[in-house]
Structure 1
């Protein structure tokens, strides 16, 4: 393991962009549903604004601009995302092997709703690796970049935050992990980083290490 540190007692995986290659799909859905309500936001801009954030952040963004999203916006967005994921979502290449070969306790901590995380793992065949160890922003008061979700997950897993490793793909996720006192590795192998310098982005956010292929998970 890198950094000359012992292996962690717990690995917390983000879901979107780490376990499943979902970020481009979800941003496209967001852009499409916003357009149906008269709000123009390109998928690339959605990625910049909301990568790693919860739906509360979307609502807050528009409130700050003086707009209130209609009551049926979130239900329609949720339905569109679930329908899209059911037909097109793929796991991150190599992640099943990493999970199969690792004996370190693991869980998921995601900004997405629990039913979206569950569907994502079911569709991609990754659900058996985690069982019921799924924690989401719905379970805490403050989502990423606040540390609440990661601290909640470590508490449920009865693990010291200082002995916990987080795998994240977003600035807000890296910041949340560091705020929780955890080691964090940035993963930039998702489709949303093909045209962006993910290494620079996540290193600047505070990631202890950045890698792009699951086959390099444990490093040299």
Structure 2
């Protein structure tokens, strides 16, 4: 079974989400760019990211700011969210059983896949870190996905775009491959994934084939 991360692998949401977060954090007195957030935090649950930065700045965020970020993201998803280029064709040609394991909250995750026309490739095997005790880089969501699908972790491979996700998949005892084909991909992205333990990295969805996952 192939377990896919969602944001940045299946849907190009990272550039939207991080742009919103960076704008609101900067307005609240913590200047940061979307590129900074992507480099340092992609793959981790949103609430954990905001909590970590609150610790760095030494004070809590204004009440309701994270909720505002979530609302803005849901609004912009409806008109701006697109699937990663070529990913639907890649999913069609991959014969393996498929699942999704994401750091996104389950309602947002399912909505993202539906907007992009990808939900039917995975239904009902769509799983969120909100369903387990710990988000990535802990292995919980990958182990949960395997258990719910009745598949041994040894028989799962993972496609991830983040160091946190690669770390989580390895901790789950799964083979892991990297993806650097999203619009948020940055210089050094593929090297970071390889250094984290990805066996190989696809630079675009066209590279995803049955052979890619069997090397």
TM-score (norm 1): 0.90
2:94 maps to 1:102: yes
Distance 2:137 2:126 in 1: 18
Q: CA deviation at 1:63?
A: 4.1
Mapped contact 2:12–2:183 kept (Cα < 8 A): yes
Name the residue aligned to 2:184.
192
Mapped contact 1:53–1:144 kept (Cα < 8 A): yes
Of residues 113, 119, 129 in structure 1, which corresponds to 2:121?
Answer: 129
2:63 maps to 1:71: yes
Q: How does 1:46-125 map to 2 (within 5 A)?
A: 46-65=37-56, 66-125=58-117
Count, aligned residues = 210
Mapped contact 1:50–1:57 kept (Cα < 8 A): no
**Runs of 5+ unmatched residues, structure 1:** 1-9
Equivalent residue of 1:185, what SS? strand
Name the residue aligned to 1:7.
none
Mapped contact 2:25–2:31 kept (Cα < 8 A): yes
2:143 maps to 1:143: no
Name the residue aligned to 1:168.
160
Distance 1:63 1:213 in 2: 34
Indicate the larger mover: 26-35 or 179-188. Answer: 26-35
**Runs of 5+ unmatched residues, structure 2:** none
CA deviations on 1:58-101 (whole Å, 9 max, x unpaired) are 23313422221233122111111111111111111221112223
Mapped contact 1:59–1:68 kept (Cα < 8 A): no
Equivalent residue of 1:52, what SS? coil
Q: How does 1:209-220 map to 2 (within 5 A)?
A: 209-218=200-209, 219=211
Name the residue aligned to 2:144.
152
